[in-house]
Amino acid sequence: MEKFIIRGKQPLSGEIPVNGAKNHALKIIPAALLSTQESVFHSVPQVEDVDRLLEIVEDIGGVVKKEGNHTVRIVPPAKFNGILPKKLVPKLRASILLLGSLLVRFGRVEMPHPGGCNLGRRPIDLFIDAFKALGAQVESLADDGYVFQAPHGLQGARYVFPLISVTGTETLMMAATLAHGKTVIVNAAGEPEISALADYLNACGARITGAGTHTIEIEGVQELHGGESTIIPDRIESGSFVILALATNSPLTITHCRPKDLEVPLRILKSIGANFAIAKDAIKIYPITQKLKATNIVTHEYPGFPTDLQAPMTVLLTQALGQSLVRETIYEGRLLYTDVLNAMGANISLLDPYRAMVTGGTSLRGKEVASPDIRAGIALVIAGLTAQGTTTIQNIYQIDRGYEHIEERLQHIGAKIERVNNC
Ligand code: EPU
């Protein structure tokens, strides 16, 4: 078990490049299994969740070759016994995406309930409902698993998501590429990773239109060929670095990013007094002499304020003057880390599982804490770098799930952060 030891309040400066998006890589890898041919992906982030997913691909007979640090070649399995590995699937929520490609290609998928971050209830009822609409039979097993079957393939249909689901949209969109006839997904998610996934699938021969909007149409085709694609920059990592610069009032330039994917968060940051300049693929943050002002945040599907930036933003709001209300609308368990920030000197009242009141302008102090999930984990790193004294973060596997070698990258901009073995 490893931990981070952070000495806070050190000056940060320079450039920090953003890596490929975890939540794009985690979708394009299952999508590669729709074809029988090799696909090659560049800028794949070396993070634990991606490694776990690649392990599953190998476990079911796919061939994975890594070239250098960020290129991955995948040769899909020619056969599949219909069973996803019981030990690996519960490790990450994104394993559910394999359902889309494997069911339509092989006709049967037996799998345990997919795991992932502890953010409250993570049901898969929408996936079950959507695949039933496309003609699959679904059986729930006594041990919390499922069997999905479509021995004669899937039949295109119109499916209306009752609520917006990112992986639900992606899984259904993938499966529909090889279904018979046309599928229309209504109330689809519109995250940038979905458009990027559709671009790859279309380059492989799929016929998808409307990705990035709330209605996606897919004409099923007989087969897809392999393809080559570059993972888009991680908008959540980009936003986290911007927030780090603001929380520590440091002159940092975030490079290799796509500011256009962060329009709402950047607009909110500007409105509370942040000073930055935006280029096509970089954000330059200038130090400020006046404290930031409080504001209210409501998480929302894209292009709204992303739930994945809610915890880092809350850390920033502990440094802003006045009272801010943070409202989490996507997950019921995503504000529990606020207790940990309070132990570091923050003044946050949890009004209910979905709302926190932050009284800002408090000084944070170093503390021994544990990372509850990926995004609260990076928020604690930001808090540690903002705090006076030493912060120790345990359970950093949760941070490694989404951020590649974060300590080395932060050391390059002057952060005093070390990875230390616990024993
Ligand atoms: N939901 C259901 N039933 C379902 C599926 C979802 O009720 O069958 C609910 C969820 O419980 C949640 C809401 O619908 O309340 C939205 O969940 P969604 O399905 O959109 O989330 P997801 O696709 O599982 C992805 C990201 C998350 C990100 C959310 C929201 C991946 C692998 N995960 O999750 O990322 O928070 O969209 O943007 O893309 C992270 O990277 O740390 C992370 C948690």
- Domain extent, residue 273, equals 2-19+233-421
Q: Give yes or no for residue 119 having a pLDDT over 80.
A: no
Q: Are residues 396 and 375 in the same domain?
A: yes
pLDDT, tens digit, for every residue of 42-99?
999 999 999 999 999 999 999 999 999 999 999 999 999 999 999 999 888 999 999 9
- pLDDT of 144 reads 81
Residue that finishes a domain, picked among 175, 195, 230: 230
Direct distance between the N- and C-terminal alpha carbons of the chain, in angstroms, rounded to an integer: 8
Task: Taking residues 134-153, report their average pLDDT.
Answer: 94
Strands 297-298 and 323-327: parallel
Q: What is the DSSP string of 140-168?
A: E-TTSEEEEE-TT--B--EEE-SS--HHH
Query: Residue-wise over 45-63: b if at least 16 C-beta within 10 A, else e?
Result: bbbbbbebbbebbeebebe
What pTM was estimated for this model as a whole?
0.97
Q: Are residues 270 and 409 in the same domain?
A: yes
pLDDT, tens digit, for every residue of 12-27?
999 999 999 999 999 9
Nearest atom, ligand 1, residue 23 CA? 39
56 marked among binding-site residues: no
Residue that finishes a domain, picked among 178, 204, 230: 230
Q: How far is CA 203 from CA 115, 117, 190, 197, 261, in A?
A: 31, 32, 19, 10, 22
CB burial of residue 326 (10 Å; 0-12, 13-18, 19+): buried
CA nearest ligand 1 atom 35, residue: 308
Nearest atom, ligand 1, residue 167 CA? 23
Q: Are residues 31 and 8 in the same domain?
A: no
Kindly report the CATH number assigned to the domain that includes residue 328: 3.65.10.10
- pLDDT of 121 reads 58
pLDDT, tens digit, for every residue of 341-381?
999 999 999 999 999 999 999 999 999 999 999 999 999 99
Which of 148, 165, 237 has most ligand 1 atoms within 8 Å of CB, for mutation? 165
- pLDDT of 20 reads 98
Q: Are residues 138 and 242 in the same domain?
A: no
Nearest atom, ligand 1, residue 92 CA? 32
Q: Are residues 250 and 309 in the same domain?
A: yes
Q: Are residues 116 and 149 in the same domain?
A: yes
pLDDT, tens digit, for every residue of 187-219?
999 999 999 999 999 999 999 999 999 999 999
Please, which pLDDT band fits residue 333 given cuts at 50, 70 and 90? confident
Strands 252-255 and 14-17: parallel
Please, which pLDDT band fits residue 423 given cuts at 50, 70 and 90? confident
pLDDT, tens digit, for every residue of 288-301?
999 999 999 999 99
DSSP letter assigned to residue 388: B
| Active-site annotation holder among 117, 204, 257, 423 | 117
Q: Are residues 102 and 247 in the same domain?
A: no
Q: Where are the beta strands (DSSP E) in 150-279?
A: 158-160, 182-186, 207-209, 215-219, 228-230, 252-255, 275-278
**Ligand 1 residue neighbourhood (C-beta within 6 Å):** 23, 26, 93-94, 117, 121-127, 163, 165-168, 307-308, 330-331, 374-375, 402
- pLDDT of 1 reads 87
The CA-CA-CA angle for residues 268, 271, 272, to 5°, reads 95
Number of domains in the chain: 2
Give the Cα separation of 178 and 134 in Å (integer): 11
Q: Are residues 105 and 214 in the same domain?
A: yes
- pLDDT of 415 reads 98
Dist. CA 68 → ligand 1 center (Å): 31
Please, which pLDDT band fits residue 35 given cuts at 50, 70 and 90? very high
Give the Cα separation of 35 and 194 in Å (integer): 19
Residue that finishes a domain, picked among 183, 199, 230: 230
Dist. CA 390 → ligand 1 center (Å): 34
Q: Are residues 99 and 136 in the same domain?
A: yes
Give the Cα separation of 270 and 93 in Å (integer): 34
93 marked among binding-site residues: yes
Q: Are residues 192 and 241 in the same domain?
A: no
22 marked among binding-site residues: yes
- pLDDT of 117 reads 61
- pLDDT of 120 reads 59
382 marked among binding-site residues: no
Q: Are residues 302 and 209 in the same domain?
A: no
Average pLDDT, the chain: 96
What single-letter amino acid sits at 392? Answer: T
Give the Cα separation of 83 and 64 in Å (integer): 19
Q: How far is CA 236 from CA 194, 239, 260, 294, 319, in A?
A: 15, 5, 12, 21, 20
Is residue 117 part of the annotated active site? The answer reads yes
Q: Are residues 249 and 394 in the same domain?
A: yes
Q: Give yes or no for residue 184 having a pLDDT over 70.
A: yes
Please, which pLDDT band fits residue 178 given cuts at 50, 70 and 90? very high
Give the Cα separation of 240 and 262 in Å (integer): 11
Please, which pLDDT band fits residue 143 given cuts at 50, 70 and 90? confident
Please, which pLDDT band fits residue 122 given cuts at 50, 70 and 90? confident
CA nearest ligand 1 atom 14, residue: 165
CA nearest ligand 1 atom 43, residue: 308
